[in-house]
Amino acid sequence: MRTHIIRWIATLLMMFQTVPAFAEESTPTIPIHPKTADELMDEECRAELKIPEGRIWQPYLLSKYRACLNQKRQDVKAKKDAAILLQKSTASAEQAKPRLERIRRGSRRMLRNQSIYRQSLQRNQNLKAGKKTFLRFRRRQILQPAAGSGS
């Protein structure tokens, strides 16, 4: 008997919502799921073509509706592809920076080595040329004795 009275008082309190705790607990919360991309596209196409909710019976409207949906899907795909390309291009640019720097450094090193190589070649050629001229000069001295050192 006591439980019946307690339940009856609790229901009266809930009806009048005198206790806020009861009022908050009694209201059921319905989870609102976000609409999927397909549902959003469906709503947009129906709004564009002014088609009411439900099944589309007219073939003409159905073909228009399908064309609209396909266009929306292509637009979404194009946006995704563009975002992916942009992401890839920025990532590859970030990755290419050190590579470009390495190439630049390597080319600098290569140029420096080439210039050192050229200088050494030039030096060797100069030395050879100098040696030849020296030998030529020496040969002349041997063949033609000095003019002043004679009798």
Q: Which residue has the higher pLDDT, 53 or 21?
A: 53
Whether 72 contacts 42, CB under 8 Å? no
pLDDT digits (tens, 9 = 90+) for 37-73: 778 888 888 888 888 887 777 888 888 888 988 888 8
For the chain, the domains span 36-142
pLDDT digits (tens, 9 = 90+) for 130-144: 777 777 777 777 776
pTM of the predicted model over 0.85 = no
